Amino acid sequence: MSLVRLEAVTREIGTFVILDAVTGAIAPGERVGLVGPNGAGKTTLLRLVSGRDEPDRGVVTRRRGLTVGLLAQEAHFDEAFMTATDLRSAVRHGAAHLERMAEQLAALEHGGHAAGPEYEELQHRFEILGGYTLDQRVDEALSGLGFARDEWGRPPTSVSGGQQTRAALARLVIADPDLLLLDEPTNHLDLGAIEWLEEHLRRRQGALLVASHDRAFLDATVTRVWELRDRRLTVFRGDYSSYHRQRLERDERAVREAATLSDQVAKEVDLVQKYRSQRKHTKMHEHEARLERLREQRVETPRSGRALKLPGQALAGAGPVRSGELVVRLDDLAVGYLPGRGAVRPDGEEASEPVEIARAPFLAAQRGDRIGIVGPNGAGKTTLLRTIAGDLPPLDGAVTFGHQVQPAYLAQLRDAAIPGATVLDSILEAIPVTPGEARGYLARFLFRGDDVFKEVRLLSGGERSRLELALLGILPSNLMLLDEPTNHLDIAAREAIEAFLSESSATILVVSHDRRLLETVCERLWVVGDGLAVPFDGGYRAWRAAVADGWTIEAEARRRANRLRPGASGPHPEPRAPGGRPRTEAAARTRPEAAAQPRAEAPAARREPRAARARLSKDAYRRRSDALNAELARLGLRKTQLELAMGQPSVAANFVEMRRVTSELADVSRALAEAEDAWLELEEMAP
């Protein structure tokens, strides 16, 4: 018997039909993904399945005694959750039935009935339901969903909304209902937490219905897909990739069938007219009957819905200029917050000293690089990007931009909208253009007709994200700094952004938890965690494979530091905070005491391992630096020329010429790597 069955369910708001005669069923243990564009009715369907809403027409049938757990996209937490003494207790209360059974067992023991049949039966049920492993599972859920142990004791009211949502998800995991309903569960999770949740859902015995735009998450967790499209529900077998393939095949087949039917109708119309003109009434009536039957046939063709189309050229007109080979360089950069500008102590109180979040010993982006910035929540990814964008001042070190770099920054946390300001006002205030030009530009971002007169403060999350993307593209830029650009966007919009970024010639630094975007767009990574930011020469999958093989941030930092000290012997000292103390887990998170050290002392403490290398005079350093920069520019230009030459038909068709070009390209790439190493060594001898 099905857990839940929907029969011809219709849901309306006023005169607008959200769901029209939807039919479907969920079997025990089935894992179903719910997909569709924003506004298709996914959240409405989840609320109908959970019983929080009732259909206007049709029937929703649930199995008797069914337990259902719902994690809403905009979570509203009950009083029991919010009034719990701490997060751990709030999560543990998800298994309230086990807590009641434990109390009953304790009461029977205290009453001297531990040897009785009632105690034995209750104890057996308690063990079968996992009562003796409850505390272990609670700890695993909290850790897996990204809560540090020192956060478990904080009351739910003292943490952020995103943390409350993660705690509510942990409580549902512990509750383990017969049917688990999740609405965009990955919105507030980092990569590690998403992978933990995927593994838990794969092992889980209960049924699952999850609405998500995270394609990698759906591939990992579901075995069937429900698609909401044009107010109807269509069922597909397999994961998201299988659904996507089937949907494309169905759409192509429908287009072919519609074209064939149209041709047949046109042919019959011609024959009817021909026989009418020839007064052959018997033939004419025969073909009229055929024409009537053809016109009664209906082929559902895919509607050409509105699609996000990111413009290849900025609204301001001219495209971005070509930047220098080196676009941005971070030298021993410490990022964090100053007192009065976001500096917070571990207890949540405002700090009186600077709070360092992470330090980047050396990071650099070359022209055309597409770099993903990854790491756990709270590690400092957004702080690092904001510092590069100039939104936050560096606590130490330097951010250096290359020649003719034009940066553009998309923030994750947007400023509050001015009351009354509309979407159209946002564009007109940003750049002097006519309303017609602004509306034409906004149409590419799906703001058409009266949509441009919506107040910004009333926009949905997806609409606000599209507006921010529109604002990002007003001026030409050759360096894009993007913080979670796919947040709140549906799958079609995410694919449009991926295609745009893949084709863009700009250098890209993107913070994202969207693994499909990271795999599709990013060729390299900057990994942030444990108070450090280090580069990884490879994409997302290569990084996860390296982590599985034992790759760590601190080991990578030591390896790269040793490259700068070729004469050093013995193990590299443990990475230390600016005050000379070893980094600990707690210190890596806030380190207010480290950031409070005098600025004059910090560099000396950090650079102690370089003492053996002789310093150059300012003139000598300048001469060598100019020569190396010129060599880097020359080699970079030659490498670009050779790569373009390989794509020319005249070279590709000539084996001898292709061999010459590839051989020279290998030599130039090797020389460029050696020049970069020489530049790094020169920096160690800076005066």
Taking only the tens place, the pLDDT of each residue in 383-413 is 999 999 998 999 999 999 988 888 989 887 6
According to the model, what pLDDT value does residue 594 have?
A: 35
Tell which of 200, 223, 244 closes a domain. 244
State whether 663 and 633 are in the same domain: yes
* 259 contact partners, CB below 8 Å, separation of at least 6: none
- Within a domain: 311: no
pLDDT score of 489: 84
| Three-class SS state of 373 | strand
Report how many domains make up the chain.
5
593: confidence class by pLDDT, cuts 50, 70, 90: very low
Tell me what percent of the residues of the chain surpass a pLDDT of 70: 87
Q: Could you tell me which of 564, 559, 604, 557 has the C-alpha nearest to residue 583?
A: 557
- Both 371 and 255 in one domain: the answer is no
C-alpha 680/C-alpha 613 separation (Å) is 13
Question: Mean pLDDT over residues 515-533, rounded?
Answer: 93
- Which range among 219-233, 257-271, 338-352 has the greatest average pLDDT? 219-233
Give the whole-angstrom CA distance, residue 431 versus residue 94. 52
Tokens of 296: 């009664």
- Measured in whole angstroms, the distance separating CA 402 from the mean position of its chain's CA atoms is 28
pLDDT tier, 317 (very low <50, low <70, confident <90, very high otherwise): low
Tell whether the model's pLDDT for residue 312 goes beyond 80: no
Asked which of 244, 261, 288 is the last residue of a domain, the reply is 244
Confidence of residue 567 (pLDDT cuts 50, 70, 90): very low
647: tokens are: 């794509």
Domain interval for residue 256: 245-296
**Residue that wins the pLDDT comparison between 606 and 244:** 244
CA 448 – CA 524 distance, rounded (Å): 37
Using the predicted structure, report yes or no on whether residue 588 has a pLDDT greater than 50. no
Judgement on whether residues 537 and 503 belong to the same structural domain of the protein: yes
**Whether the predicted pLDDT of 531 surpasses 80:** yes
Q: Tell me the backbone φ, ψ of residue 317, rounded to 5 degrees.
A: 120, -95
Q: What is the dihedral of CA 375, 376, 379, 380, to 10 degrees?
A: 60
pLDDT above 80 for 342 = no
Q: In this structure, is residue 536 part of a structural domain?
A: yes
CA pair distance 149, 143, nearest whole angstrom: 7
pLDDT at position 606:
38
Which pLDDT does position 413 carry in this prediction? 61
The whole-number average pLDDT for the span 324-334 is: 91
The whole-number pLDDT of residue 303 equals 63
Query: Lowest-confidence range among 348-362, 510-524, 554-568, 596-610?
Result: 596-610
- For residue 123, tell me if it sits in a domain: no
Same domain? 337 vs 236? no
Query: φ, ψ for residue 508 (rounded to 5)?
Result: -125, 130
**pLDDT tops 80 at residue 236:** yes
What backbone torsions phi and psi does residue 618 show, to the nearest 5 degrees?
-60, -40
For residue 88, pLDDT over 60 is answered with yes
Provide CB contacts within 8 A for 81, sequence distance 6+: 90, 93, 156, 167, 168, 171
- Residue 236 and residue 252 in one domain: no
Q: Which of 78, 84, 77, 80 is nearest to 154 (CA)?
A: 84
Tokens 């560099």 sit at which residue?
A: 603
Q: Is the confidence at residue 624, as pLDDT, over 70?
A: yes
**What are the start-end ranges of the H helices in 278-331?**
281-296
> Is residue 398 classed as helix, strand or coil in its secondary structure?
strand
Q: How far is CA 317 from CA 264, 433, 441, 457, 474, in A?
A: 48, 11, 12, 29, 9
Q: For 41-83, what is each residue's pLDDT tens digit?
A: 899 999 999 999 999 999 999 999 999 999 887 656 777 888 8
Do 394 and 543 lie in one domain? The reply is yes
Task: Tell me 130's DSSP state.
Answer: T
pLDDT of 595 over the 60 cut:
no
Helix ranges (H only) for 297-405 are 381-389
CB 397 within 8 A of CB 360: yes
pLDDT tens for residues 18-32? 899 999 999 999 999
- What is the structure's pLDDT at 587? 36
Assign residue 10 a region (left: φ > 0; alpha: ψ between -120 and 50; beta: otherwise): beta
pLDDT value at position 583? Answer: 41
Residue 502: pLDDT band (50, 70, 90) is confident
State yes or no: pLDDT of 569 exceeds 90: no
- Looking at 553, 586, 610, which one is the last position of a domain? 610
Tens of pLDDT, residue by residue over 133-177, are 899 999 999 999 988 888 898 888 888 777 888 899 999 999 999
Question: Residue 529: its pLDDT value, please?
Answer: 92
Q: What pLDDT score was predicted for residue 34?
A: 95
Q: Are residues 436 and 509 in the same domain?
A: no
Q: Say if 518 falls within a structural domain.
A: yes
Residue whose C-alpha is closest to residue 181's, from 51, 28, 68: 68
Report if residue 314 sits inside a domain: no
Whether residue 573 has pLDDT greater than 70:
no
**DSSP-assigned letter for residue 319:** P
In a domain, 381, yes or no: yes
pLDDT one-digit tens code per residue, 628-683: 887 887 887 788 778 777 777 777 666 667 777 777 887 888 888 788 778 777 77
> Do 589 and 490 belong to one domain?
yes
Task: Assess whether 409 and 493 both reside in one domain.
Answer: yes
Count CB neighbours of 183 within 10 A: 21
Residue 199 reports pLDDT greater than 50: yes
Whether 240 and 251 map to the same domain: the answer is no
Question: In the structure encoding, which two tokens stand for residue 60, read together?
Answer: 């929703």
- Can you tell me which residue has the tokens 């979570």? 75
CA–CA dist 338, 344 (Å, integer): 9
Beta strands in 276-374 (DSSP E): 326-337, 355-366, 370-374
> Do 187 and 259 reside in the same domain of the chain?
no
pLDDT band at 302 (very low <50, low <70, confident <90, very high): low
- Provide the CATH number for the domain around residue 375: 3.40.50.300
State the burial class of residue 343 (Cβ atoms within 10 Å of its Cβ: 0-12, 13-18, 19+).
buried
Distance of CA 501 to the CA centre of its chain: 15
Mean pLDDT of the chain: 82
Which tens digit of pLDDT belongs to each residue from 451-488? 888 888 877 777 888 888 888 878 788 899 999 888 88
> How do residues 112-124 score in pLDDT, each as one tens digit?
887 888 888 888 9
Burial of residue 669, with CB atoms counted within 10 A of its CB: 0-12 exposed, 13-18 middle, 19 or more buried: middle
* Per-residue pLDDT, 417: 57
Q: Flag whether 254 is in a domain.
A: yes
Predicted pLDDT at 348 = 66
Could you tell me if 99 and 196 lie in one domain? yes
Q: Is residue 434 part of a domain?
A: yes
Inter-CA distances, 111 with 106, 118, 121, 125, 132, Å: 9, 12, 16, 20, 21
